[in-house]
Amino acid sequence: MTGMIGMTAGAVTKQVLGELPTERLEAEITELAGHLAAAECRWLELVAEFDRRKAYEAWGCISCAYWLSWHCGLDLRSARDKVRVGRALEALPIVRAKFAAGALSYSKVRAITRVATPGTEHDLVMLAEHSTTEQVERIVRTFRRGIEIEEERRGMRERHLNTSVQFFWDDDGSGIVYARLNPEDAAVVRRAWEAARDELVTADGSAEPPAPGPVAARALVVMAESYLASGPAARAERYQVMIHADAEVLTDDTDGRCELDDGPALSPDTARRIACDQPLVAVLLDSLGRPAEVGTKTFDVPERVKRVVRARDRGCRFPGCRQRRFTHVHHVRWRSRGGPHALDNLVELCWHHHWLVHEGGWDLCVEPSGELTAIQPNGERLTFRSVTIDPDDGGIERRNADHGIVVGSGTCEPAWYGDPLDLDLIVGGLMQHWVREHPEPDDPHD
């Protein structure tokens, strides 16, 4: 029996599964689970490096998770988790080593990386090796709650009572918002921001919030737009975007003066993107910078045309993206280049890809077949690349062996024998490590 279990998993690939002894079936399942864990660790490290290089941008994707969803067939929620875990492994060498050896499953590593620090990872790994995945999840949830309670206690002592909101323009033209709110007020604002963010990110939400970036910033704008859109109709006119620009900026696709009313200068491409789909009052300037003409939303696509475009496209048509919320109607041949409001010149794009084709250097063209092709900033068309990776390399076991990984039928099985979980003892010890890593600041009044 021992000799049969010790055989390599690949030795019986041609044997009929129904003829396998139960002991052999069990051994092969657990051994391959270890191989899969080791291979997934390697895969996540590749994903983290791909994310670090921002290689997904070459495909016009807003994040590595979107690229994984497109190219690897993952749902967005799972893809974000994969990227998060891959990033976390870089700072957790003990977790990574056990994962790479096939001793920890992805499910356990995913849970551990939510709370692990260099000071607690050793204990968390030891617990994971002696616990089921469900027990690890319980430990992590309780530990995280303990951290939240401790941080809340410290925050109550240190919180300042003064509140303020400031808005000012940075030197590069960016708008900067600074706010300090009472806790109850901040909770309301945060709830609204999270709702806007979740709508932007995906319809079913995500267990982990996205990193700060364009999505998080756009969510704040969506909050403002939602309020303005629901305000009294008699006041709607005051909320239209007003831009002061040289006439040729919006009509001839050239550089020139362009700025927000009572605000900073804008890139001409930004002005053209706004004029592409949104209500816009343009104050056109003459050669001396004096107002020569005031437009009345003449650049905006008629609503009836937008409805037809959205009914036809049913979401963003940029290759690989089918986002259906927060989309714009874009002129393939820009309005500033003489593009008409004709249906064959209009496509639906999400806010990210609309920015990409105006300010990001990308372009679009409609093929004779009607298919939309994206053109990268270097002028090359976005096409799929096919790369062959050692088709006769012996499979996952051989690859793991080449990396010095030895996996057996018991490698990934926890050393747990049914003993009860003592959460108080376990989390109490973890909290001691956490407190040592995060000492409270000295009281300046002492």
CB 206 within 8 A of CB 78: no
Q: Determine, yes or no, domain membership for 59.
A: yes
- Residues 188 and 297 reside in one and the same domain: no
- Residues 6 and 64 reside in one and the same domain: yes
- Residues 147 and 193 reside in one and the same domain: no
Mean pLDDT of 126-148: 91
Instruction: Determine the pLDDT at residue 351.
Output: 84
- Conformational region of residue 176, where left means phi above 0, alpha means psi within -120 to 50, and beta covers everything else: beta
CB 45 within 8 A of CB 95: no
Confidence of residue 439 (pLDDT cuts 50, 70, 90): confident
Q: Determine, yes or no, domain membership for 149.
A: yes
- Residues 148 and 172 reside in one and the same domain: no
Q: Which of the listed residues 216, 234, 252 is the one where a domain comes to its end?
A: 234
pTM for the model: 0.64
Q: Determine, yes or no, domain membership for 407.
A: yes
Say if residue 297's pLDDT is above 50. no
Please count the structural domains in the chain: 3
- Residues 227 and 255 reside in one and the same domain: no
- Residues 147 and 285 reside in one and the same domain: no
Which residue, 88, 44, 83, is CA-closest to 61? 83
- Residues 254 and 321 reside in one and the same domain: yes
Q: Which helix (H) or strand (E) holds 46?
A: helix 22-52
* Longest Cα separation, the chain: 94
- Residues 342 and 406 reside in one and the same domain: no
Residue 283 DSSP symbol: E
- Residues 154 and 7 reside in one and the same domain: yes
- Of the chain, the percentage scoring pLDDT greater than 70 comes to 72
- Residues 216 and 256 reside in one and the same domain: no
Mean pLDDT of 285-314: 70
- Residues 271 and 321 reside in one and the same domain: yes
- 192-234 pLDDT, tens digit each: 888 888 877 754 345 455 556 788 888 888 888 887 777 654 3
Coil/strand/helix, residue 314: coil
Q: Provide the residue range defining the domain that includes 271.
A: 241-375
Confidence of residue 152 (pLDDT cuts 50, 70, 90): confident
Query: Which residues sit opposite 328 in a β-bridge?
Result: 349
- Residues 184 and 257 reside in one and the same domain: no
Say if residue 9's pLDDT is above 50. no
- 57-107 pLDDT, tens digit each: 999 999 999 999 988 888 999 999 999 999 999 999 999 999 999 999 999
Which residue, 6, 1, 25, is CA-closest to 408? 6
Instruction: Determine the pLDDT at residue 80.
Output: 94
Q: Which pair of tokens denotes residue 240?
A: 């239209």
Instruction: Determine the pLDDT at residue 235.
Output: 37
- 326-360 pLDDT, tens digit each: 888 888 888 767 778 888 889 999 888 988 888 88
Residue 265 DSSP symbol: B
**199, burial (CB in 10 Å: exposed 0-12, middle 13-18, buried 19+):** middle
Q: Determine, yes or no, domain membership for 390.
A: no
